[in-house]
Chains A and B, each alone.
Chain A
Amino acid sequence: MIRMDLSKSPYIAPFLRNRWPQFLIRAVTLAGFIFTILTGLIGSEVGSNNFAVIFVWIAWWSALKLFFIPLGGRSWCSICPIPMPGEWLQNEGIFKPRRFQSSKRKNWPKALRGNWLQAFAFLLIGLFGAVILTSPRVTALILLGLIIVAFILSLIFERRSFCLYLCPIGGFTGLYAKLAPLEVRAKQSVLCAQHGEKTCYQACPWGQYPLALKSSANCGLCMECLRVCPYDNISVNLRPWGEEISKGSKPTLDETFLGLMMLTTALADAAIFLGPWGKLKAAAYWVGTSAWWWFVIAFLLGALFLMPGLYLLAVWSSTRLARSGSTLRSALTYFSPFLLPLGLTGWIAFTISFAFTKFSYILPVLSDPLGWEWNLLGLSGKASVGEISPLSSFLQVVVIAAGMFWAARTARQLSSSHRQVMPLVMFIASFGIAMLWLLVG
């Protein structure tokens, strides 16, 4: 078990324990969020010249996929502004830690728990993606909708219900956090056994109990447990990538479904946005036309039947090849961890291809956020068209190949023999080669 406790480092610990650095970052992200909504609503309707579109779908999305998730797991959630107004209200203060009597809200209904809602929310983004990603108005309305819904939910339900069960970003961030090298865990369980009050559980906005935390999927790295624990028994560990899934985690069916959804949307978005098929783009863009309805049908068929069907076939073949006695349902969840590195690397490669060509828009849009011909930073030149450089192609290939290696290794570790892993390997190879063809072929 290679672990390095960051909370012991004299350079890092102050930033974790003191509430000010995190608050200042959150204040900035909240102000930025509001600014984004405003520019999206009243600025130029042209996506590439509007702060809302460039910053949400190029800058923030790249940061999320290339840094926040691979390096920190659910680290964006610790500075995300969406739940903050509701949370500050629940705690009755910005710096007040949560206590049992702070908020008397309802529990989230049992039937709606898990990743199902988040998977469907992400599917919706895929269906309307061509319009959302290119229209400042729609982007702004969606952000506004998210923060309003999160606020209303925090008035009714306890803790961060929106983040845990509804946020489409939270869905896959949490899922891929299992692979990431950052985790929060209790240090010595003996101390926790003696502690009756369980202040860490009271303080956690995610409703997690740090002692029982085995998976990083639902921990938002907010550090509240670290701050309130009277025994200083919480550690923030650096750990090797993917260690959580290779240690016999117990994935659930909803996580499996979300993992498959992420694979489908990666392929679909690569085809729609980065492919040369204008008819497909037009079909995805003109919402409400008959072409769009055909696109919806094809997309949903792929996401709900084709991809899960192929996965089912691969898993079923594996169980037949091993002649084991386990049920298909348990095998579906048992093997699902390999979907995670496959999906994460697919999305990273997609982001490299999608966003690198558009980085040249970022500085001009900082200089002229509303498209009103301002020149705040003297950088409002015309953004260049951008192109895929050889370096960017190389990176995409290496990332996908690494993902195929990682997924295959995970699948091999979960299988009892070479024979058993073959169908899974074929699934992995097909996805990897399909992504490669769409991105660099």
Chain B
Amino acid sequence: MNRITILVNSLKSFTTQNWFSIFLAAGILWLPLPLPEKPPLERHIRIEASTYQFTPEEIHVNAGDRITIELVSTDVIHGLSLDGYSLVMRAEPGQTARATFTADRSGVFRFRCAVPCGNLHPFMIGKMRVGSNIFLIRAAALGLLGIGVAMRIPSTSFRRPDKGPL
């Protein structure tokens, strides 16, 4: 029981000492940013799938765009499954597949091959970016905040080796 109270107390003191950093971290992760919105468009994107490669491998669209994807397979049967959207397509060479959806969720979503097409099939990946890459910026900011917090901790709890301080 003793050790649990020690743990709880240290957690409490950590929180009170670093409340600002914790607040900042929450803001970095979840504060909605009033970014300028681009008007939604109708897009036709032709994606070619060959073994282990989507071409283009990255597509950028605006939030709210109505997107029609044409999936063209060039060697064997491939598929396309889009993370975060319930979109699954399958295309055989000679039979282009078409599907339409609205990009209502922002962020970076990976699309993957949905039909076994060889040994590296689970790694046949492309990226779709809806809007700006705010998630990555938030993540990087969080990491830098972590570094900043680390700089504040005094280096007293450390015993230098015999060679002496550098």
Residues in chain A within 8 A of chain B (CB atoms): 2, 4, 46-48, 130-131, 134-135, 246-248, 250, 272-279, 281-282, 285, 318-319, 322, 324, 326, 330-331, 334, 357-358, 385-388, 390, 393, 397-398, 400-402, 404-406, 408-409, 411-416, 418, 420-421, 425, 428-429, 432-433, 436-437, 440-441
Contact = CB atoms under 8 A, between A and B. Distances in A.
Contacts of A135: 119
Nearest to B141: A401
Interface residues of B, number: 55
A276 B150 contact: no
Contacts of A388: 83, 110
A285 B119 contact: yes
B159 A247 contact: yes
Interface in B127-143: 127, 133, 135-136, 138-140, 142-143
Contacts of A400: 139, 143
Contact of B161 (A322, A334, A408): A334
Interface in B120-156: 120-127, 133, 135-136, 138-140, 142-147, 149-151, 153, 155
A414 B160 CA distance: 8
Contacts of A319: 166
Nearest to B153: A409
A271 to B, nearest CB: 11
Contacts, number: 161
A135 B110 CA distance: 24
Contacts of A408: 146-147, 150-151
Contacts of A134: 119-120, 122
A278 B149 contact: no
Q: Which of B29, B122, B165 has the most CB of A within 10 A?
A: B122
Contact of A401 (B121, B146, B160): B146
Majority-rule SS of B interface residues: mixed
B27 interface: no
A276 B159 contact: no
A440 B123 contact: no
B120 A428 contact: no
A440 B112 CA distance: 15
15 contacts: A2-B6, A47-B122, A48-B122, A130-B120, A250-B161, A274-B123, A322-B166, A334-B166, A387-B84, A387-B110, A398-B142, A400-B143, A401-B143, A412-B153, A436-B136
Nearest to A247: B159
Nearest to B21: A405
B143 A433 contact: yes
A40 to B, nearest CB: 13
Given A388-B83, A436-B140, A441-B135, 8 more contacts: A130-B120, A278-B52, A282-B53, A387-B84, A397-B142, A401-B146, A408-B146, A436-B139
